[in-house]
Amino acid sequence: MSRSTTQRRGYHHGDLRAELVREGIALLAETGVAGFSVAKVAIRAGVSSAAPYRHFPDREALLAACAAGIIAEITGLLAEAAEEAGPDPVDRLAATAGAYTRYVLDHRAGIDLVYAHDFTGPHHLAVQEQSRRLTDTLMDLASAVLPDDTSWAEIADFVYVHLSTTHGYAVLLLKGARPPQDADGHAARAVTAARDHISGHLVRLRDRSMPS
């Protein structure tokens, strides 16, 4: 890992593939999917517009690599946030909402790629793999929150809604639909929203197991 920076050495780049993904993610953050083009990414990376085609068969493949990179980065941040949140399972799961919000605020439109694009095909296995890892991370955290006899499907359902809440909150923030605050304030509110969802869910489980 001697040269992971943006510096270019000469005719050959060194690690153009990785740099294209980095610049692609940055471009997505600035312009969203609509403003994304292979040519722009190439210019940002300081190479000709044909160079990316040595590393990616087409635009779609570069886009997919960026998506996989974004998801992988988010997964890492969520795991890290959970770790820092301490031992309480609810604290740990709720903390992921804050980290997610922070990421979206930092990377703005980049996030719409992951959710406004179809990566379900067989050409996008890397994206699917990263999505699975993200889900697995949340499943682990969620299973510590829910009762021991909760089925896998019920955990998945719960995780899905947790991620929905978190994602929805962060995405709406990007619309400026809220009075501007600092990132910390938004992240804290996201954590509270996650807590509300968790506690509401647990209350419902309790009420279901011992009806009035």
Among 160, 184, 185, 206, binds a copy of itself (CB under 8 A): 160
List phi, psi (to 5°) of 211: -65, 130
Among the listed residues 78, 109, 146, 187, the single contact to a copy of itself using CB under 8 A:
109
Q: Least separation, in Å, of the C-beta of 20 and DNA?
A: 9
CA distance 108 to 183: 12
Report in angstroms how near the CB of residue 64 gets to a copy of itself at its nearest: 14
Helix axes 183-209, 152-174, angle to 10 degrees: 150
The token pair at 161 is 């809604």
* Using rule CB under 7 A, residue 14 touches DNA: yes
Q: Pick what 185 binds: DNA, a copy of itself, none; C-beta below 5 to 8 Å, kind-dependent.
A: none
Are 126 and 64 in contact by the 8 Å Cβ rule? The answer is: yes
Q: With binding defined as CB under 8 A, does residue 44 bind a copy of itself?
A: no
Give the Cα separation of 42 and 88 in Å (integer).
46
**Least CB distance to a copy of itself at residue 202 (A):** 9
CA atoms within a 13 Å half-sphere pointing along the CA-CB vector of 186: 25
Residues forming the site for a copy of itself (CB under 8 A): 32-34, 109, 112, 115-116, 118, 120, 131, 157, 160-161, 163-169, 171-172, 174-178, 189, 192-193, 195-201, 203-204
